[in-house]
Each structure stands twice: as C-alpha cells, then as structure tokens.
Structure 1
C-alpha cells in the first residue's frame, strides 16, 4: 500500500516550500502537484522541476512506463472528464458521506486509481517509502480517501488569509509554460472565500478519520527544523542525525527535484533563504485587510490568528 503525504491548503500558503523541504528527506519522493500532471505535463509537455520537458525527463518517463506502459497509454481526456465529474469543491459534501451512489463511487475510484498508479510507480522507481503530492486541492484529497490502495495522510498548511490574499494579487510568472505566462490572480474577496472553503474541507477530512497534521506557515518558517521533524514523524519516517543538515533557521540547501507542476519555486536549486513573508501587513490596503478578516473570522480564531490587524501588524 502506497503511503501518501498529501500537502493541502489554499495556494500561496507555503505548500511548495513544505514539499521541497520534505523532498530532501531520505525515503521521500516529492512529486509536485500531480493534479496538473494530466493536462500540463502529459498533454502540454511543460517543464519538470529538473528543468527538462516532461516528455524528456528520465524520472517521469520511467514512472509512466511502470504505471501505464507509457504515458501514451493514458487517456488524458478520460482523466479530465472524471476530474470534472467528481473532483469539485461542490462535491465534497457527497464525498464526505459514509456511502457513495454506485455510479459515482465507480467514477471516484477510477479517478483515484490513476493517481495511485503514479504513486506506486514513483515509489518503485525511487525506492521511497513516502510519496508527497502537493496538489493542495481539498476535493482531490476527499477523492483519494476512497482509495483502498492508499495510506493517506494530510499535511494541512494554513497561512494568515491576509497574507494569502496579498500574494494572490501579485503577478507571478510561469517560466515553465510556453503559452500562459502568468499564474492565476484573485481579488482579496475571492481568495478569502476560497481560503474558508478549502480549509474547512480539510477540517472535515480530519473529522472523517483521515490522519491530519495542521502546519501553520508562520510557525514553520520561524522554526523549519522543528516543523520538518514533526512532519517526518507524522509520515512515519525515522530521521538520522545528519538528515536535516541541509537545513538551518535561515536557509535550506535544495537539490534538483522532479515536481510535476506548482509554484516556480520548484525550479530553485542551491541555497534558498527561509524568511517569513509579512509584506501584506503594509502592502494590503486596510479595506482589504478588514474584508478578509471579516470573511475569515471564524477560522482565523480557530487557527489562532487575530481577526483584526492594523497596518503596523498589531491587533
């Protein structure tokens, strides 16, 4: 049974950083956002985290051969049709039930089966005991819950929604894409609603019995060694004395990875700084701060964040 650590949360919450650091641990294979593998990589041939196009990446070629006898054998349109039919936020109440309607259950398990095949193949290629999928999508995690072939564990990454909202307003280039050159942007109001929906959906997973560890971005960046040790233990890994030598309080030394899709940080190699991004405190207009705080107030309190924050960063 494949052991999967699913890194979930709303985008711009630090999930790529968590995935990259996990990928440096022995026994771990970090795959990036597998949810985008079908469209962006198999069909779009975008670049892997190693820099190679997907079709020429040796790692992903071997995974495809083991999983499906080659990526050409994957009916991408079938996968995307299943994705549209079962993996939507609006389907989470149904996915969270104790039983699924027969036709829907068959689709969910078929859809989850494509992911399971990728995880198993990646484990065989690398010898890893833990696979990391940083797809983030709460609905995908709910679909994977129905797979009998996965040991699913969820790292639920949360960040102050005002920081998330500020990040979603920024222009971020997509260097791996030959077509669309920028990542999606959302208004603060839109990102606040998405923050509520996705984080609540992960809380629901925990209530359904899925092992879940909540990771607060701000605490993780303040003490990345402690955060990574907690995640390793949660994933069932035993770390040796030197396994975290690549990491200090201020930086991490990253090797080449094979993240299939995600934030451009997946291309970073070498020494990267680890510092908390609080640019939103001064960069996000006060009206937007108040809006996001009001929309997200219940979960802000639940996660230990202040509801109101002034431009100076105080309550």
Structure 2
C-alpha cells in the first residue's frame, strides 16, 4: 500500500544507499546524460541555451527513473535469489512493488511533460525510449531474455538518448555518425566483453542470453581490439569532414591507446589469467574510455 509521496521519495533514495547499486545507477545516469549532451552539442555547435540544457537533463533523469523502477518491479521475484541484486529496494522489502510501479509511472509522465515543452520530435524520441524500456523488462516481450537483445537494447537506448539531445536544439546533423558508430561498437562489442563478462552468472539466473555467454574471453578480447582500432582510425580520418575540431581525435586516440595498452598483453596471455582482478581493471579502463571519447565529441563540436 502506498503511504504518501514522502514515502515514495524516501523509498527511491534507497536506490542509492548501497554503494555498488548506487554507483551503478549514478554511472548509468552519467553515461546517458553524456551521450544526450553529445547530441545537444553536436547539433548546436556551441553552448546551447541553459533552459534547453536543464530541460534535456531533467528529461534524462526522469526516463532513467522510469526504466529502473519498472525493471526493479518486474524483476523483484528473481532478484531475491540473486546475491548481486537482492539488496535492491523491492526485493529487500524497502519499497513495495506498487510503489516502484507508481514511481516508474511518475518518471514516465514527467519525462513526457518536460520533453513536450521542448518540441514534438524530442517527445517522440522519449516515447520511443519509454517503449524500449517497457519492452526490455515487461513480459511477455521481455527483450532482456532474448538472444543479444540485452546488448542491442542498451545500444539503442544510448543512441536514442543522443538523438533526443540533438532534436532538442535542431535537426540531426551528419556528425552524429561518429558517436553513433562509437556507441554501436561499445554496446555490441566492448560492453559484452567486460561488464557482461562479469555478470554471466547473474544474467544466466535472470534468463538473459548475452554474447559473453557464447564467446570465450579470448574471442571477446579480439573483438574489442578490432572495435577500438575501428573507432580510432575512423575518427582520425573523418573528424574534419564532420566539422569537428582537433580535440575530438586527440581524446579518442588517447583513450583508445590507453585501452589497447591493457588489451594487447591479454591477447597473448593464457585465458585463465584474464579473470578476477585483471577483468576488474579492464572494467575500470572501459568506463574511463566510455567517458573520455564522448567528452571528445562534445568538446570537438565547439567552434574554437
């Protein structure tokens, strides 16, 4: 039973009281916001109006609340038996399933309302994002349980976030191609190679079927190396064509070389050495890489 709006806010705050869970959700908000700002700055070619920045960020926060609260409500029964997820608000009993669903609905309504004050294209993309989040968690569709759909849904969600930022200030420019390519490689290759590789057991318990489950670690590292080389070479050769400044290739090459320096020794090492602390270090480097490259796209869009 829902007691009050204050109770809802208190329950939502528990989403961030556990260090690992809080860090994960704040990182999700950071990355989605970062790619939203990539679209925003790529289109405006300068600093957008402050009111647009605030509206776009508020919409991004609201849609994250919608997706996470809905997912927690739908997965609560399974999460009770998962050591990595049993401390989430719903399975731990700190929030009821009804409260999570109401919080999700409030996040969805708020994201639509804010995006509607921007323009119709922005609202359309938000509706598409909500549909994607709904399809990801809610049966009978539940995309997360279909082969490769966990990675594909994440990639699509990030691309939609970038397109939302772009439509918030104008038409989608051709320069969106580069961050779009980056997102595709990150979501379909790098993410499964590191974050999904750490979650194979948890994903298996949840019925997910990911790329990390069918490829051994060496194949995942080889795919990651290829993806990094594609990102580095493509950005270096085409940044001028898309009207980006030198900051873009500099940060992209730096981040890619930093990642490759970690990957190359693992390609010749025995597979049993590519686990444990080595994999955790790779996840940290992956997160730094995913932060630096879109930052390069944002700064590269400025007319210096």
Is TM more than 0.5 here? no
Higher relative contact order (CA 8 A, sep 6+): 1
